[in-house]
Amino acid sequence: MEAKSNTFLETEPLGGLMKKYSIPCIISLVVAALYNIVDQIFIANASYLGSYGNAANTVVFPLTVVALAIAVMIGDGACAFVSISLGAGNQENVHRSIGNAIVLCLASSLILTVVYLLAPEMILTFFGGKVNAETYACAKEYFFWIALGMPFYMFGQAMNPIIRSDGSPKFAMVSTVAGAVANIILDPIFIFPMKMGMMGAAIATVAGQILTAGLAVWYLFHMKAVKLEKNSFMLKGYLMKRFLVLGITSFLSQISLVISMAAVQNMCTKYGALDPIFGQAEYAQIPLAVLGIVMKFFQIAISISVGSAAGCIPVVGYNIGAGRKDRAKGLFALLLKWETTVGFAALLIVELFPRQLIGIFGAGNESTYYTAFAIRCFRVYLCMLPLATVNKGTFIYLQALGKAVPSMELSMVREIIFGVFLPILLPLIFGLNGVLYSFPAADVLTFILTVIIVIRIYRELSGRDDTYACEVGLY
């Protein structure tokens, strides 16, 4: 095996490489997002679940994001470090970092599963699960089965970027798509003719995750540029420190989103109770259910954004490791143009077709208040989508450059400072509408900071000093 088996990353046209790596990554992330979205669509259209099941799905969703945060910290960090190491020709770091990532993922997933199974009531209550008794019962049932599947979910998500770093973005995509297809097939069977309710939706999801994880295990025995050995799985502190630092941005971007969702969902529940309509018991779950639906569409748009940037990680990392900062700069320019295009396309959809979007999620079975609030939520909450996609893409690309600190700072400011305090402060002035205003306001403020960081990074990539590889400890 040659030490630098991925040399084409340094020579092929950037546009072609971006398509080759980003498209499979986008598909993988969008399909991964569809796990929860598909559940919610079928749940919403089951008359015996409806908005109660929808609200329950919204309550549990942040808890899957916690698992995803840990998985992508390990997987994205290892992916970036492996790509840079391959570019620098350091095969020892490559196989050991992948082995360490596998062990860390398995250990952390088992710990999280135990935590979820031991304290479900406290956890669900924290995310607004007790808005009414029907919603809580649905959330508790759904959460139990989802928690049991966490090890499979986390393993599949963590291995996906590692598989991409080995030069197999298509296999990473296929493994995720296979799991999602299984979920889509099983969901309607379990929910409608078998009437298994929330349990059925959860079991269908877990079955798909098991399939994805199984395919990842198969690939680890058939890697292209890497051969795992027994000593690959011996934990090395210095290696874990290096790749986890590169993955910390992915972790913080997800975990801070969880903190933001907790604030938004609790404020939604609190100020919904003060609303003349949603303060009534039979409508109390509507704001929470609708917010979850709107966030699912946002998740699709942001998955395209993140997938575009994450797909670039092997390309950027290899070129930084090989001293080709000019190519890293060129790819950054292409990415920013694409992120802007994605944001405006998504914005047109939510502004022009909100009624059609909410119709997919069972609006025909609900009250007119449900539809009216959903239309307002789509149009207000997501009105700054172009800024959101550019922000997210920049966070991930900085991580690929080895610039973990500015990436982490931007992510933390967006999701914790703006994402938590604005949903708490604005409702004091605007009531329930203040919750909706908080999201676009956070994206505008973050974009201002992002522009400053982008200008600085462009200047650094135009320089001639060889700093990036040194920062991640390769030289």
Whether the predicted pLDDT of 139 surpasses 70: yes
Whether the predicted pLDDT of 272 surpasses 50: yes
DSSP letter for 415, please: I
CA distance 303 to 307: 6
pLDDT for 234 equals 80
Nearest CA-CA partner of 305 in 380, 381, 397: 397
CA distance 139 to 145: 10
CA distance 460 to 449: 17
Query: For 219-235, how does the pLDDT look when each residue is reduced to its tens digit (9 = 90+)?
Result: 988 888 777 777 777 87
pLDDT for 44 equals 82
pLDDT for 454 equals 85
Every domain of the chain and the residues it spans = 15-471
3-state secondary structure of 191: helix
CA distance 73 to 65: 12
* Average pLDDT value for residue range 410-414: 84
pLDDT for 437 equals 95
Q: What percent of the chain has pLDDT over 70?
A: 94
* Torsional class of 227: left (φ above 0), alpha (ψ -120 to 50), beta (otherwise): beta
Q: Return the structure tokens found at 347.
A: 């914005």
pLDDT for 4 equals 46
Residues in the chain: 475
Query: For 2-15, how does the pLDDT look when each residue is reduced to its tens digit (9 = 90+)?
Result: 444 567 777 788 88
Residue 205's pLDDT band (boundaries 50, 70, 90)? very high
How much is the mean pLDDT over the chain?
Answer: 85
Q: What's the predicted TM-score (pTM) here?
A: 0.75
Whether the predicted pLDDT of 108 surpasses 70: yes
Query: For 324-354, how does the pLDDT look when each residue is reduced to its tens digit (9 = 90+)?
Result: 888 888 888 899 999 999 999 999 999 999 9
Q: Give the list of residues 6+ apart from residue 292 with CB closer than 8 angstroms, or none.
A: 40, 54, 55, 57, 58, 61
Q: Which one has a higher pLDDT value, 34 or 159?
A: 159
Whether the predicted pLDDT of 107 surpasses 70: yes
* Average pLDDT value for residue range 429-457: 92
Q: Give the list of residues 6+ apart from residue 128 with CB closer than 8 angstroms, or none.
A: 58, 59, 265, 266, 268, 269, 288
Q: Give the list of residues 6+ apart from residue 237 with CB closer than 8 angstroms, or none.
A: none
pLDDT for 440 equals 95
Which ranges of 119-196 would DSSP assign to H, the alpha helix?
Answer: 120-126, 133-148, 150-165, 169-191
**Helix (H), strand (E) at residue 149:** none
pLDDT for 473 equals 44
pLDDT for 182 equals 93
pLDDT for 123 equals 93
Whether the predicted pLDDT of 474 surpasses 70: no
Angle subtended by helix axes 286-311 and 50-88, to nearest 10: 20
CA distance 246 to 227: 22
Q: Give the list of residues 6+ apart from residue 431 with CB closer than 8 angstroms, or none.
A: 271, 274, 275
Query: For 443-452, how does the pLDDT look when each residue is reduced to its tens digit (9 = 90+)?
Result: 999 999 999 9
Q: Which one has a higher pLDDT value, 206 or 368?
A: 206
Contact 371/363 with Cβ under 8 angstroms?
yes
Contact 396/414 with Cβ under 8 angstroms?
no
Q: Give the list of residues 6+ apart from residue 345 with CB closer than 8 angstroms, or none.
A: none
Q: Which one has a higher pLDDT value, 171 or 253?
A: 171
Contact 56/130 with Cβ under 8 angstroms?
no
Q: Which one has a higher pLDDT value, 292 or 5?
A: 292
CA distance 327 to 244: 25
CA distance 226 to 222: 9
Whether the predicted pLDDT of 297 surpasses 50: yes
Write phi, then psi, for 91 (nearest 5 degrees).
Answer: -70, -30
pLDDT for 3 equals 42
CA distance 59 to 262: 9
pLDDT for 122 equals 92
